[in-house]
Structure 1
């Protein structure tokens, strides 16, 4: 499982979330909404310190990660985080992992 963050998305996270040393961005599955891979669930984010991670990428010393508790949501997919210009917010694109 991999996480890719586009430059525009990364800048949005830095500007909007006020991240401090040691904190990163955790991607998680949340009830309500929809995602490309789950009906009734969408991608949530929270500012958190990395713990029991299963996927991580670091950009500008900021870790972007998925915790083991959320493996059920992301299993079988790589996550690409882009930026939706129309809504001025991150967008989440899932790429199935081919074995």
Structure 2
């Protein structure tokens, strides 16, 4: 599994969450909501340090990651995090892993 966070999305997280270089953003599975890959589940975010990261990437000094315990949610997909200019919101895409 790979995580790809575009620079605009990273800047949005930095500004909205008042993140500093060296901060962590965890994408975790939560019950409720919807996604294109899991029924009744969606992604949440927290700002914990990783304990067993399954995938991670660093953008603008911020580490974005997914823990091993949440890997099931992605079911053979990668995670792309994009900032939508029109809606001014973060969007998640789940392309199939290579």
For the criterion TM > 0.5, the same-fold answer is yes
Mapping of 1:48-87 within 5 angstroms? 48-87=48-87
Q: Any conservation in 1 of the 2:28–2:44 contact (CA below 8 Å)? A: yes
Change (3 A) 1:20 1:7: closer
Q: Any conservation in 2 of the 1:32–1:40 contact (CA below 8 Å)? A: yes
Q: Which residue of 1 aligns with 2:89?
A: 89
RMSD: 1.4
Give the match's secondary structure for 2:69.
helix
Structure 1 position 22, deviation (Å): 4.2
Q: Any conservation in 2 of the 1:53–1:68 contact (CA below 8 Å)? A: yes
Superposed CA offset, 1:29-79 (max 9, x none):
111111110121111111111221000000122100001110111231110
Residue segments in structure 2 that go unaligned for 5+ positions in a row: none
- Tell me the number of residue pairs that the alignment of Structure 1 and Structure 2 aligns: 98
Structure 1 position 92, deviation (Å): 0.4
Which consecutive segments of 4 or more residues in structure 1 shift more than 4 A? none
For normalisation by structure 1, the TM-score amounts to 0.89
